[in-house]
Amino acid sequence: MQTAGLDKRSVFWNFLLFIAGSCCMYIFCLNSGTWECKQEHFQAISGYEIRTFLRPLERNQDHLVKFDQTVLSGLKDKSCSKCFSPPHDPATPEQKKASLTRYERRRIDLPDMKNQVDGLSPISYPAHGVYVRPMRSVWLKGIRVELFNSSDVHSNKQMEFQINATRGIFQLAGRVRWVSVNGIGANTLKISTRSPSLLNLQLKYIVYRNTEFDANIVDFAKIRFSETTVTMPIHIQHVQLPWLFIEGKGQIQDRVTVAVKTFLRYSRLRNAIKAVDQLYPGTRIVVADDTPDHLFTSFQSSNVDHFRMPAYTGYFAGRNLGLSQVSTEYFFYQDDDMMITEETKLDMLVSFLDNTNFHLVSVAVARNLFATTFDIFGNKSRTCIDQKTDPGYYMAIKNFPGFYANDVGLNAFLASTNEVKAVGFDPHPALARLGHGEFFLSALGRLRIAACEICSIRHMKGGFDAGNYTLYRRVSKKNTLERNIYNQYMHNVDCFRKQWTRSGETNRNIKKVNKNKKKIKIKNKE
């Protein structure tokens, strides 16, 4: 009987000890399904101390969420109920897809990619890649508190999470029970709870809605929890519709327009037009001409559109006029004293632009490559530009031998029409007589420029020029000064050193130096 009584007492005390142990485990480690209690070794940085922290574990608690269908419906893309189908599609689906691929490849802005900040930082959040259309909503997925102070958890302290923005409001796609939320429909949202797992569950359903219209701007959402503050960029951007081109049969004449600016030099213009007709028959040629009326001669024909401008309008104004009349995907610009030859290889240039993200590729002249780069240095208060010719390019382009990435090329180039139209040619009077590098200054950072040494164009010399062309060709010191002052002001730079030297001339100069050295040695021997 005594043994039985002792057994009952021992069972009772063991049961009490088990209950007490379980309570202690719950107090110190909370719910093992929610929290991970383990030792990790961290070394404190000088001036900081290490506090005990707890890291939440994944747990399915979706049954505690009550979804807001109104908010969820605002996240969906609106369907298009009306659709217009033309009776005859101007391009095949394959051609349309290829044109769209080229358009997307040539975009100069950063691709829409998401960058999630995870790891041992107290807060995980998307650091890049959150995009929303103006006046629309986006689900802010990826926000999560990773580390909690153990003293706050053990003391059952109320924890508060806050997020605020300036160009939009916050909504919740779902509400979690036992979580306090303030600021729904406002630009500051506060979430409070004593449960870390419920806090992270509620963070899964935060929705941002843009309320202040802008076509392209970033709203910086400030996230605060405990002693940690992070900034999450939300990119507000309107839809940018593509501009596709009809390829036709895919021949050069279907995809390329030749643009020429001329002034007085009709004998050379005639040869330039003839060369295009012989090598690429049927290719449209746009001629912009500011020759005075009494010297004007029309070259209008079935494939030549000759546009008359007011006399002496200027070089870049003519380029702009010619470019405005281009309706093909690419255009080839050349001066009136240049002539396309078999070595120009327009098909190779088109293939290069088709298969890369470059917008413009210039050619060589007489197998001499014109290529330079811009070196920008200084600071916000003072900026200088140095145009370098050695080596004149940044790198050789992979898989395209003879093609190089650079900043400035010859004034004979194949380019993507839409992107060059966005930059344009400045028709300011200071650039009316002479201008070329100014276009590449304007294109810096906006266009991807390349140069090709295996495709070349012929530079025509001699021939009869109507009127006194040389008089207009020569630029006075006054005009040069005006041009330099205007360039510095326009691009907000303080100094500009230009070294426009052909690589071929550089090579010839090196050979001359070597020859002179040999002559000196021979004289010394004598």
Name the residue with higher pLDDT: 459 or 20. 459
Amino acid type, 141: K
CA distance 393 to 407: 7
**Average pLDDT, stretch 260-266?**
93
Closest among 365, 361, 364, 371 to 459, alpha carbons compared? 365
333 pLDDT band (50/70/90 cuts)? very high
The DSSP secondary-structure symbol of 335 reads E
For the chain, the domains span 62-76+112-237, 256-508
* Predicted structure pTM score: 0.77
Name the residue with higher pLDDT: 46 or 376. 376
Nearest 5 degrees, angle CA 361-CA 362-CA 364? 140
pLDDT value of position 276: 97
What SS3 state is found at 231? strand
Name the residue with higher pLDDT: 18 or 322. 322
Q: In terms of DSSP bridges, do strands 53-56 and 35-36 run parallel, antiparallel, or are they unpaired?
A: antiparallel
CB neighbours of 148 closer than 8 A, spacing ≥ 6?
A: 53, 54, 55, 56, 159, 196
- Bridge partners (DSSP) listed for residue 126: 116
Closest among 329, 378, 333, 408 to 493, alpha carbons compared? 378
CA distance 452 to 329: 20
pLDDT beyond 90 at 1: no
Token pair, residue 307, equals 């546009």
466 pLDDT band (50/70/90 cuts)? low
Mean pLDDT for the chain overall: 83
End-to-end, the C-alpha distance of the chain in Å comes to 134
Residue 208 class from Cβ within 10 Å (0-12 exposed, 13-18 middle, 19+ buried)? buried
Comparing 98-107, 280-289, 458-467, the range with the smallest average pLDDT is 458-467
What SS3 state is found at 276? helix
pLDDT value of position 502: 46
Q: Does domain 256-508 have CATH number 3.90.550.10?
A: yes
CA distances from 377 to 145, 240, 385, 483 (A): 42, 33, 7, 21
> pLDDT by residue (tens digit) across 218-245?
999 999 998 899 999 999 999 988 889 9
> pLDDT by residue (tens digit) across 395-420?
999 999 999 999 999 999 999 999 99
Q: What percent of the chain has pLDDT over 90?
A: 52
CA distance 195 to 34: 10
CA distance 505 to 488: 28
Backbone angles phi, psi at 118, to 5 degrees: -125, 175
Token pair, residue 282, equals 């049927």
Amino acid type, 312: Y
39 pLDDT band (50/70/90 cuts)? very low
Q: What percent of the chain has pLDDT over 70?
A: 78
**Average pLDDT, stretch 505-526?**
38
Contact between residue 198 and residue 30 where contact means Cβ atoms under 8 Å apart: no
> pLDDT by residue (tens digit) across 167-211?
999 999 999 999 999 999 999 999 999 999 999 999 999 999 999
pLDDT beyond 60 at 84: no
- 363 CB-side CA count, 13 A: 30
Closest among 190, 189, 157, 194 to 178, alpha carbons compared? 194
pLDDT beyond 80 at 356: yes
**Average pLDDT, stretch 291-311?**
95
Comparing 94-98, 312-316, 458-462, 504-508, the range with the smallest average pLDDT is 504-508
Rg, the chain, Cα only = 35
Highest average pLDDT, of 111-115, 381-385, 507-511, comes from 381-385
382 pLDDT band (50/70/90 cuts)? confident
pLDDT beyond 50 at 464: yes
